Amino acid sequence: MSAAAPLPERPEPATRSTYHHGDLRRALLDAGLDLAREGGPDAVVLREATRRVGVSANAAYRHFSDRDALLDEVVSMAQSLAADTMADEVARQVEAVAGDGAHDAADESADEGERAQARLRAVGIGYLRFAMEQPGLFRAAFAVPTDLRRAASPDAAGLGGRTPYQLLGDALDAMLDSGVLPASQRPGAEALAWSTVHGLAMLTLEGPLRDLGPEFVAAIGPRLVEMVVVGLGLPDTTPT
């Protein structure tokens, strides 16, 4: 896999030196995000967030009723960061396909299919990239019990306005529109693709593949994603 491009710039987190009462909520959120980055969702504790910001627990309760309320927003923030990584990967890979050379007008349909497939590959690679580069935030984003309402919530959207789940759906829709994804394969395709790459990520972070590390994912991840792309493009032969 090629070297990762710089992520879009985001505002710097609040710190003790810049904190004032007007941005206490934001300061606590930034502290919660740092805790998740360091230790995953289990590390997001309201008392520790208040200690880092330098305020009392009573002050924090004006903004978050309990630890779960803080974690809930940290989950959305972590998902938005994942979306940024995925969108960055999409932009790079689709641009690479578009820059492969001039094509005749007759090839435009094939080009659209190639771009759509590249888009789905990039969504999967970006997801795995985020898991390996930010394991704590990845766990916070995708290992905390939520539902699909959160997956499509604007609070979980990246700088481009799309959540990780929506980026996946957009890529699948592009494949459908370009003709490389049969209509019979579109229903449930998000769950098939998502569970495949998520399984590799979690097996490597917390399961029996954890000793193999990011290098293993960098090597095998593209092959796994290609299996998803190719498999979804085949007719549905599931026995009825």
Domains of the chain, first to last:
21-65 (1.10.10), 75-232 (no CATH)
Task: Work out the pLDDT band at 11, boundaries 50, 70, 90.
Answer: low
Instruction: Return the amino acid letter for 126.
Output: G
pLDDT over 50 (residue 14): no
Task: Work out the pLDDT band at 9, boundaries 50, 70, 90.
Answer: low
- Please state, in angstroms and rounded to a whole number, the distance separating the CA atoms of residues 173 and 191: 14
First CA to last CA across the chain, in angstroms? 39
Give per-residue burial for 32-63: e unless 16+ CB within 10 Å, then b: bbbbbbebbbebbebebbbebbebeeeebeeb
**Model's pTM, two decimal places?**
0.86
Q: What is the pLDDT averaged over residues 127-143?
A: 97
Note the pLDDT of residue 16: 44
Average pLDDT, the chain: 89
pLDDT over 90 (residue 166): yes
Q: What is the pLDDT of residues 54-97, one digit of tens each?
A: 999 889 999 999 999 999 999 999 999 999 999 999 999 988 88
Note the pLDDT of residue 36: 98
Task: Work out the pLDDT band at 203, boundaries 50, 70, 90.
Answer: very high
Task: Work out the pLDDT band at 159, boundaries 50, 70, 90.
Answer: very high
